[in-house]
Structure 1
Amino acid sequence: MVRDYSAFLPGGKPPRREPTALEGLGWGPAFASQIDAGALTETPPVRVVAVHRSGLQVVGDGIDETIPPGPEATVGDWLLYDRARPRSSRVLERKSLIKRRAPGTGREVQLIAANIDTVFVVTSCNQDFNVARLERYVALAFEAGIEPVIVLTKADLAEDPTPYVEEARKVSDRVPVVALDARGEEPTAALADWCKPGRTVAFLGSSGVGKSTLTNALLGTQAIATQGIREDDARGRHTTTRRELHATPGGCLVLDTPGMRELQLTDAAAGIADVFEDIEALAAKCRFADCRHETEPGCAVQTVIENDSLDPARLARWRKLQAEDAFNSSSLAERREKDRAFGKLVRSAVKAKADRDR
């Protein structure tokens, strides 16, 4: 037997070390730096792997529990697990957070997932393909500080997937585009660069685009149920009903999410600017700082549109997302200000009553 002594030589490769249980769940320096050695024993770190109506399913080193609702956490969060008072478990500072305005008429924020390294924005090479939706999802990822990758499924069923790929690449020069067949072994090879051990990836997109099929491909199982699309409009049916982390054989964690019928952006101005950085750069060259890019003289944006170098539809989508984000963000800011004012009023009333009772 030939022994490998390279690790003992200058510049030799270090001996391979198996990841710890926590590292296998995505634990790293960004989280370890937030706690001291004593806290590791008293309140061991656990990761939220699923959110149920009954509470949060958390997993750690020798821990697999469901704790009651209490911590404001979402899938992917790391908690310092307080066994005596689970509701008081502390959420560690996140590397990233995906959120949206909750569906409905309110202005609540819904947390989607935390501590994701890469978001695969999934759509199909069929009637489901929609550039505006892709821009929206990519803006969400950019705002969260997450690397986005556009994944086009059902490429094997399209006569020619090239037009879909070309349109997807127009979303942003910073976003890779991958076209594939979601079934079989192709996703494992095509997405390998992003699915490294210890990393956490998420599939986002509408129903029926193949998110669960992709997750099954990476897991090497058929553990997650899938359904076909409606033939008349290529729309999907909801299969996944909750957000849950799954561990792949290669050591990557995968989040499969339910399809989102509504994705309202909030507090995402920077993410929108990143997606439309071409328009943002042009707008900075306009003669007037408050240019609306319509009929103003010296408008650099309209000049480029007249030269057929910018699609007017892209400008319209930029305006729409900006207006939506401004409305949702200002509404949330106003609500938070009202909450602070109400809290101050309550504290003043309590203090006044305490002074009277003395």
Structure 2
Amino acid sequence: MTRDYSQFFSTSTSSQSGTENPSKLARLGWQTFFARQVEPQALNQTPPVRVSEVHRNGLRVVGEDIEGLIPARPDATVGDWFLYDADLPAHSVLLERKSLFKRRAPGHDRRFQLIAANVDTAFIVTSCNADFNIARLERYVALAFDADVTPVIVLTKTDLCDDPDTYVQEAMSVSGRVVVVALNALSREPLEKLVDWCRPGQTVAFMGSSGVGKSTLVNALFEEGRVATAGIREDDAKGRHTTTARQLHFTPDGVAVLDTPGMRELQMADAEDGIADLFADVTDLATQCKFRDCAHDSEPGCAVTAAIAAGELDQARLERWRKLMAEDRFNSASLAERRSKDKNFGKMVRSVMKDKKNRR
């Protein structure tokens, strides 16, 4: 049967605003951005599918009346869209992404790790207890800014905190561009307070440490026990891992929800733009310094140190900016070196194979 995919090329957003019943593809997150990359007739031969899970043996994909498996590949991640080749799944075409979360891989491996693609909103979750860490929140927000994703800071466990407003005020200091929402994840507050970002056709991701309530929030959006949950250790407020893999869940009304494992290590790399957006106050001041290469230490005419002296900028915030910038430069250089070595090794292999072929 030949399907009519013309509806997916309309620039109308009515299906995403909830005024009409969204199609199956729209409920999976298919948007005009992706449709514009494809000729209508091509969709009949290779229909669009979305990666819902990543496993060692392949990528689990779902589409309009399609559930399949594409062989694992390092350049794809959960949330990606493919044009699915049913006869040769390995030949399925990866579409250009609307957004991409990535980080330097944990440990000593100097590679990028893809976290998630085509996310519209990132709910950066922390709790009103000892888990709260302003520097960690800044890392997640910088990552979201760099990925072209809207970050929203979500503070949980307000019911267990005597003064949640203190945490709210501190979280608001991260960036004037980021909304902060405080709620009790075990109540109906997630449905009420997160609704503005959870519209049909949107993809949202819950990110943060283990045990802060990410999976509980996912279950709240579904109003059922969709994913496993566990509490925190009472002695140090550290979380227990319950989510072990990144997986997209789809609500009945068409919201794609990504629950991610807690990331113990979040190293920045090639994220200079995101860091600049996060610390816009610092970067704006830096442009006003007398010297272009000002280190913002003891140089004359430094607008940054002047702002600190005037109480307009916090010294601790400046130090966190320096740390992230230094980390990003180091990791970016390391990754560039790895890419260069891989490229040179590939050239050497091709040269050796060519010589062998010529000798024959």
Match of 1:86 in 2: 89
SS in 2 for 1:315: helix
C-alpha change, 1:55 and 1:354, in structure 2 (3 Å) is: closer
CA distance in 2, matches of 1:242, 1:336: 27
Match of 1:9 in 2: none
Match of 2:189 in 1: 186
Match of 2:347 in 1: 344
SS in 1 for 2:137: helix
**What CA deviation, in whole Å up to 9, does each residue of 1:64-94 have, x standing for no partner?**
1233323631110001112222122221000
Question: Which among 301, 310, 315 is matched to residue 312 of structure 1?
Answer: 315
SS in 2 for 1:156: helix
**How well do the aligned residues superpose, as a CA RMSD in angstroms?**
1.7
Equivalent residues of 1:71, 1:91 under 8 A apart? no
SS in 1 for 2:159: coil
CA distance in 2, matches of 1:85, 1:63: 15
Question: Which among 143, 151, 155 is matched to residue 154 of structure 2?
Answer: 151
The CA deviation at 1:355 is 4.2
CA distance in 1, matches of 2:129, 2:74: 41
Equivalent residues of 2:26, 2:254 under 8 A apart? no
Extract unaligned runs of 5+ from structure 2: 1-13
TM-score w.r.t. length of structure 2: 0.92
Equivalent residues of 2:22, 2:254 under 8 A apart? no
CA distance in 2, matches of 1:158, 1:197: 33
The CA deviation at 1:120 is 0.4
Q: Tell me if 1:25 matches 2:28.
A: yes
Q: Tell me if 1:101 matches 2:121.
A: no
Q: Tell me if 1:277 matches 2:272.
A: no
CA distance in 2, matches of 1:133, 1:186: 24
CA distance in 2, matches of 1:341, 1:52: 30
Number of residue-to-residue matches in the alignment: 345
Question: Which among 131, 134, 138 is matched to residue 137 of structure 2?
Answer: 134
Which one has the largest radius of gyration? 1
SS in 1 for 2:181: strand
The CA deviation at 1:16 is 5.5
SS in 2 for 1:50: strand
SS in 1 for 2:252: coil
Match of 1:54 in 2: 57
CA distance in 2, matches of 1:55, 1:214: 28
Match of 2:303 in 1: 300
TM-score w.r.t. length of structure 1: 0.93
Equivalent residues of 1:100, 1:112 under 8 A apart? yes
Match of 2:246 in 1: 243
Report matched runs for 1:34-73 at 5 Å: 34-70=37-73, 72-73=75-76
How many percent identity over aligned positions?
Answer: 63
Equivalent residues of 1:71, 1:90 under 8 A apart? no
Equivalent residues of 1:70, 1:88 under 8 A apart? no
The CA deviation at 1:242 is 0.8
Q: Which amino acid aligns with 1:199?
A: Q
Equivalent residues of 2:145, 2:151 under 8 A apart? yes
Match of 1:212 in 2: 215
